[in-house]
Amino acid sequence: MPPEIFSMSDVTVIREQFSHMGGHSGYDLLCPALEESGVSVCSVWRQTSLPSSSFMRGIVDYAWAKLPNKSSFYRQLNLWTELCALKKTVLSSGSVHILYGENNLGLFALPLIKGTSKLVVTAHQPFSWWLEQGLDVKRKFACVDALIVLSRSEKEHFENLLGKKKVYYVPHGVDTEFFCPDVKGAAELKRNRPVKRYLFVGQWLRSFETLFSVIEMSADKKSNVEFDLVVPDLSFRDSKLEEGIRRVSGLPQVTRHQCLDDRSLRELYRKATLLLMPLEESTANNAILEAMASGLPIVTSATNGIMDYVDRSFARICPLGDASAMNDALDQMSSDDGLLKKMSMSARKKAVEKFAWRTVADSVLNVYRSLI
């Protein structure tokens, strides 16, 4: 990209990859797309251990104790990561992009630390989550020059607090080259197998109570329906919820999957009839985007952010917590092969046109340019 178009061609990016996401999932995939567009990305990865130097460890401990307004996702390792990024930016007036504001925005929220750098932060969690944290949200983002949010409803919420000039809606992306339909293999499998396979993926902000109800409705009446649940072990977080997952996983129609590699997850998307995704709330949702890219029709919940990603050409959007409506939508869609084929094509088309990472990166570049 010519420097006269974008003078901040070097961007220090605080990056993080999560263990439950493979190499083809997650917001970090924005970085290679930015590099393809000509941006020189200086990566600072979330540190995996605290400094070995007792002097530096003392600085981290002191700063951690004094730092106000921390989210529950922000730990000492995140603070140490910001210090490592600060070392790269202290002598420059370039730009910094924190890809996960929930996890890695702490020190840079302070005017003295941020200095003259242009600061871009992406917020992934719903506005309600920020309020539930008990944070002073206005103060948290006071030093941020551009806040990227992942849905229009979040843009409206944050604009009411921070003003319209600071907040930008840029959707999440998906790897449409990796997550794609297996036109030959999966299509042949679906034609030759009378069983309908409903896929559920993930755990964050999912409505498990609704999921359990839908499964129980189907398990009682339908022998030609199977459920694939891609859900990690949640016993460390919510033992009661884990008990519920194990209970429904004991049904003959239900298979629980854990610790899948990228290709195994892709196969589940390709073999499924529908993605069943009951939600409590959402901005973007990786599973929905990956299902779309795989050409998979979707049944989901009417959350604040969902309409920025799905529409009726390939999805049925049900009232929150309405298991009966979801069950009816599954029956209606899965019994019409012609409808499923049309929805599959529409889902794939929208993913490629709207949410491929190169398209998202172009929108992020426009945010960067707006700061010049």
pLDDT in tens, 234-289: 988 899 999 999 999 999 999 999 999 999 999 999 999 999 999 999 999 999 99
What is the DSSP code (8-state) at residue 21? S
CA 103 – CA 17 distance, rounded (Å): 11
Domain contains 3: no
In contact, 178 and 24? CB cutoff 8 Å: yes
Q: What is the pTM of this model?
A: 0.94
pLDDT value at residue 6: 42
pLDDT value at residue 311: 97
Domains contained in the chain, number: 2
**How high is the mean pLDDT of the chain?**
92
Give the structural domain span for 47.
10-173+356-370
CATH label of the domain that carries residue 297: 3.40.50.2000
DSSP secondary structure, 233-283, as one string: --TTT-HHHHHHHHHHHTSTTEEEE-S--HHHHHHHHHH-SEEEE-BS--S
Residue 21's pLDDT band, with cuts at 50, 70 and 90, is confident
pLDDT value at residue 88: 84
Q: Nearest 5°: phi and psi at 121?
A: -130, 135
pLDDT > 80? residue 3: no
Report pLDDT digits (tens) over 4-13: 334 445 899 9
Domain contains 203: yes
Average confidence (pLDDT) over 113-139: 94
- Give yes or no: residues 167 and 284 share one domain: no
pLDDT > 80? residue 190: no
Residue 20's pLDDT band, with cuts at 50, 70 and 90, is confident
Three-class secondary structure of residue 29 per DSSP: helix
pLDDT value at residue 43: 94
% of the chain exceeding 90 in pLDDT: 85
- Give yes or no: residues 168 and 237 share one domain: no
